[in-house]
Copies of this chain bind each other. A is one copy, B any other.
Amino acid sequence: MMDDIDRMLIGRLQEDATQSYAELGKAVGLSGGAAHERVRKLRERGVIRRTTIEVDQAALGRAVTAYVLVDGGAWMGGSADALAAIREVEEAHVIAGPASVLLKVRTTGTKELQDVLRRIFEVDGVTGTQTVVVLETFFERALE
């Protein structure tokens, strides 16, 4: 229900999802039709969520990346929605450890970061935040 060929197909598509199925099939030792059918099933099963583009956030004006540790206990129910409503928050995870939630935030600058922190603080249950600013990103890549 998920062999090496499927993994190869996923790897190839992560690198370049614009290539033809004929090309894709040749790369993994399959015909175009067979490759297409496998990819169709991977999409159907939700292993492949969607086809998308990778954007240079800096080119879009988002120069500052920061991680925000959020303290506070009431993380049932609507808190996730309240965080999702803050558009600069790219990821939100519940974590084991010192804080309750870890957020990844991208903004155009420190000014906007300050504003985002203010809005995070207004979310129900939040009692405090600790912010870690990224100075340089070595890499952000797709696994496998």
Contacts and interface: CB of A to CB of B under 8 A. Distances in A.
B13 A90 contact: no
A51 B49 contact: no
Question: How many copies of this chain sit in the oligomeric assembly?
Answer: 2
A34 to B, nearest CB: 18
A63 interface: no
B51 A87 contact: no
A111 interface: no
Contacts of A101: 138
Contacts of A133: 95-97
Interface size class of A (residues with CB under 8 A): 35 or more
A129 interface: no
Given A97-B132, A97-B133, A133-B96, A141 B52 contact: no
Interface of A: 2, 7, 10, 13-18, 45-57, 59-60, 62, 65, 67, 80, 83-84, 87-88, 90-98, 101-102, 106, 132-144
Given A84-B141, A91-B137, A96-B134, 19 more contacts: A10-B53, A10-B60, A13-B53, A14-B55, A15-B50, A16-B51, A47-B59, A48-B54, A49-B55, A51-B54, A52-B52, A52-B54, A67-B102, A83-B138, A90-B140, A90-B143, A92-B138, A93-B135, A95-B133
